[in-house]
Amino acid sequence: MIQRPIIPYEEIGAETLDKMLHIFYAKVAQNPILKPIFPDDFTETTRKQIQFQTQYLGGPNIYTEEHGHPMLKARHMPFKITPARAQAWLECMSEAMDEVGLEGKFREVYYKRLVLTAHHMINAPDEDEEVMEE
Ligand code: HEM
């Protein structure tokens, strides 16, 4: 029998993904090093991230349909993405994953992929390194 591949998006489900990303941005909004680079209102950011994660996890390409190719690194260029910010972003995500009860292999694989993407976004040194170079 040919089995249909398991799509991560179906495994997590739209409802949990939505909940997780709302929790995630509530944490980002409270984080002292992340907050300053985000808009005050997270509505649109959250909506885009839900669209993006939907397709990142193999669901329908709803981000690309509305916004075009993600080109994530380019879209992050206007912001200083330092190693410390990447770490903080990942910590907020890890806590959000805990709070919606993601666990096991699924969570491990998903999180590892986010670590790689987050590290790829880094485009500036940590702030104190900059001071040292001056
Ligand atoms: C490494 C740490 C990261 C930081 C500090 C960061 C920060 C930001 C900021 C400031 C924005 C703009 C928000 C706005 O103006 O609405 C943004 C947008 C976005 N980020 Fe990140 N980000 C990080 C990593 C990631 C990762 C790992 C992903 C995907 C897995 C991601 C996906 C997105 C998406 C899809 C958008 C919306 C782009 C658009 O405008 O269409 N980000 N991010």
The mean pLDDT of the chain is: 95
What is the reported pLDDT for 5?
82
Q: Which domains does the chain have, with CATH numbers?
A: 11-32+44-125 (1.10.490.10)
| pLDDT tens per residue, range 41-65 | 999 999 999 999 999 999 999 999 9
Instruction: State the pLDDT at residue 61.
Output: 98
- Model pLDDT for residues 59-118, shown as the tens digit of each residue: 999 999 999 999 999 999 999 999 999 999 999 999 999 999 999 999 999 999 999 999
Among the ranges given (3-7, 8-12, 81-85, 119-123), the one the predictor scored with the smallest mean pLDDT: 3-7
Does pLDDT of 37 surpass 60?
yes
The ligand 1 atom at the shortest distance from the C-alpha of residue 120 is 1
Cβ of 121 below 6 Å from ligand 1:
yes
Query: Does the CB atom of residue 38 touch ligand 1 within 6 A?
Result: yes
Amino acid at 117: T
Return the pLDDT at 4.
82
Three-state secondary structure readout of the chain: CCCCCCCHHHHHCHHHHHHHHHHHHHHHCCCCCCHHHCCCCCHHHHHHHHHHHHHHCCCCCHHHHHHCCCCHHHHHCCCCCCHHHHHHHHHHHHHHHHHCCCCHHHHHHHHHHHHHHHHHHCCCCCHHHHHHHC
- Measured from the CA of 49, which atom of ligand 1 is nearest? 35
* pLDDT at res. 131: 54
User: Which residue in this structure is represented by tokens 């799509």?
Assistant: 7
Ligand 1 atom closest to Cα of residue 44: 16
Question: What is the per-residue pLDDT for 7?
Answer: 95
